[in-house]
Structure 1
Amino acid sequence: MDFWGSGPKAREAGGYSFHLLNANAPEEEVRRHSHDEAHFVLVLAGGYMSSAVGAPLVSDTPVLIYNPPGTTHQDRFHGGRGRFLAISGGTGGDAAALCMREPYAYRLAHSIAQDIDLMTPFRLEARALQLRGFVLPLSSDEPRAAGRPPGWLNRAVEMIFTSDDPDLSVAAVASDAGVHPVHLARVFRRFLGCSPGDYLRGHRMERAAAMLGKGIASLAAVAQSTGYVDQAHLNRTFRSRLDTTPARWRKMRYVAPIQDAEESMRQEPAASL
């Protein structure tokens, strides 16, 4: 199976292929394409844009995408820059592509990315089958997940991912989960590779990007409604995470663009990718 990426890391095991890749195509060159085999995509770096069910407009939190056989999409990295693990093989699964937010599934995929050169073929196949178990029932002879995260972690992830409260805090998430914030941070990092604060900040940027893409609110309003101190704070975050400004992002992703007074005065040109 071909992916829009290049890299030396590739393995085969038990009918599955594993590729650790860097995005190698400018965003505008990625056209709609199809995949015959089922596959997972774990985003390791970069802002990934996917049409999978439940995926943000652009990622800034841990993202694991499952695409069933026959998927046709135009998933790509913003600016053509990113790094990802692709695992392909197997048949069947859900009818629609989906964004998986199960912490244990993310940890399994991330462990493959970390140790792709070191794992035996047996371990690689076993972990691919475990991932498959999240979208297909496991047969009796397939390995079962071990070391699963506590149930409250799934609730905490879902709470952050679905919240539109600009004042949501890590302390509030820990309180809802019934655990100490330090314990929350420790378990979060173990299974998701980031802190709860990183995840919360990433979700805020994802929400801001989605609002800007709809083109129905000013930059100041977007900043206020997504928990940023002010518009300047929103600008700094976009420059740091996506190497662009909120104004440029909106011009590239717009549905019904609007003009802020500040933009009109600056007459800032749209960015080209």
Structure 2
Amino acid sequence: MKRLSRGEYFGTHYNKLILDDCTITDTEYVHEKVEWHYHENPYFTYLIEGSVFEANKKQEYVLKPGSLLFHNCQEAHYNIKPPGYTRGFHIELNSSWFNMKDIDFNRFEGCIQLENPFIKGLMNKIFLESKINDTFSQLSVDALIVAIFDAFKYSGSELMSIKNPSWLKKLNELLIEGHVEMSLTMLSEELQIHPVHLSREFSKYFGSTFGQYARQMKLNKAILLINTGKFSMTEVCYMCGFYDQSHFTNAFRNFYGHTPLKVLKKIIQVKNLQF
């Protein structure tokens, strides 16, 4: 079985950023099938475009744009890519990174699929930071990755505890489906729970209000659409469920620190350098 060393992935690297104990790669997947292999370091895979099937000895995943996985080191798996363009973003961490941050990576066993939109929002910030790549990128990326591990408790696995109410699993499944137009009223009707009770209980299990959660899902979708370069900002605005351009721009800038148009220009600039 092939062992992949630091920064090594199957495909064409358009961008590779090597920080002290962290390696970030932006990779086009070009192989129809990648046989069983494992990586020497823990890493995140964030699918930016296209789709890919991944399987390990315990689970199978169909990854689509916005899918996020954390793989612990030496977790054997294989991949199958359907026809079409597929691109993944990876963050690989040396054991020394975990030691410096006092994080025990052994408590994150195997492969974990992360659905929480705030975790994906942090991943989007790292994606943008890798395109900026200035003297502050090291500190910014480190802080964002630490925040991701802090948010693991809202990643979904703890929501399945038998101690939690039975409706919580169904709610988590509805949220994972990722419909940006969902409302508290729609969810309460589906779950047959009073919206006031659902609103009160939501933050207990998901670490945010429902409104914050839904808004973050919209912003995450916006980043993925902007990255394709196929849509105008007006189209992105309405495809993500924002009711007007001003509201979209303000929400986007408040979270990502840049306007959607500025992000688009930066992505186009980086793509032109890569291609």
Match of 2:87 among 83, 94, 106: 83
TM-score (norm 1): 0.52
Match of 2:30 among 21, 24, 29: 24
Deviates more, 1:121-130 or 1:46-55: 46-55
- The question of 1:100 aligning with 2:114 is answered yes
Q: What is aligned with 2:66?
A: 62
Match of 1:47 among 25, 48, 51: 51
Q: What is aligned with 1:127?
A: 144
Q: CA deviation at 1:198?
A: 8.0
Change over 3 Å in CA distance of 1:35–1:182 after alignment to 2? closer
For residues 67-124 of structure 1, what are the alpha-carbon distances to aligned partners after superposition, in whole Å with 9 as ceiling and x for unaligned?
Answer: 0011110034323631111000134232211111121111111122233121422112
Match of 2:172 among 158, 162, 169: 158
Letter in structure 2 aligned against 1:113: F
Change over 3 Å in CA distance of 1:72–1:182 after alignment to 2? closer
Letter in structure 2 aligned against 1:73: H
For residues 185-230 of structure 1, what are the alpha-carbon distances to aligned partners after superposition, in whole Å with 9 as ceiling and x for unaligned?
Answer: 53421245479x989xxxxxxxxxxxxxxxxxxxxxxxxxxxxxxx
Q: What is aligned with 2:126?
A: 112
Q: What is aligned with 1:186?
A: 215
Q: What is aligned with 2:232?
A: none
Change over 3 Å in CA distance of 1:35–1:184 after alignment to 2? closer
Secondary structure of 1:8 counterpart = strand
Q: What is aligned with 2:182?
A: 170
Q: What is aligned with 2:100?
A: none
Q: CA deviation at 1:60?
A: 3.6
Change over 3 Å in CA distance of 1:118–1:55 after alignment to 2? farther
Change over 3 Å in CA distance of 1:134–1:33 after alignment to 2? farther
| Higher RCO structure (Cα 8 Å, ≥6 apart) | 1
Secondary structure of 2:17 counterpart = strand
CA distance in 2: counterparts of 1:170 and 1:67, whole angstroms: 30
Q: CA deviation at 1:129?
A: 2.7
Question: Which runs of 5 or more structure 1 residues have no equivalent in the other structure?
Answer: 137-153, 164-168, 200-273
For residues 144-171 of structure 1, what are the alpha-carbon distances to aligned partners after superposition, in whole Å with 9 as ceiling and x for unaligned?
Answer: xxxxxxxxxx9997231578xxxxx834
TM-score (norm 2): 0.51
Q: What is aligned with 1:205?
A: none
Letter in structure 1 aligned against 2:182: V
Q: What is aligned with 1:12?
A: 18
Change over 3 Å in CA distance of 1:106–1:56 after alignment to 2? farther
**Is contact 2:124–2:220 with CA below 8 Å preserved after alignment?**
no
Letter in structure 2 aligned against 1:75: N
User: What is the percentage of aligned positions where both structures have the same residue?
Assistant: 11
CA distance in 1: counterparts of 2:17 and 2:61, whole angstroms: 31
For residues 207-256 of structure 1, what are the alpha-carbon distances to aligned partners after superposition, in whole Å with 9 as ceiling and x for unaligned?
Answer: xxxxxxxxxxxxxxxxxxxxxxxxxxxxxxxxxxxxxxxxxxxxxxxxxx
Change over 3 Å in CA distance of 1:65–1:122 after alignment to 2? same
Secondary structure of 1:42 counterpart = strand
CA distance in 2: counterparts of 1:58 and 1:77, whole angstroms: 10
Please, what is the CA RMSD of the aligned residues? 4.0
Letter in structure 1 aligned against 2:22: Y
Deviates more, 1:123-132 or 1:62-71: 123-132
* Number of residue pairs aligned between Structure 1 and Structure 2: 174
Q: CA deviation at 1:130?
A: 2.5
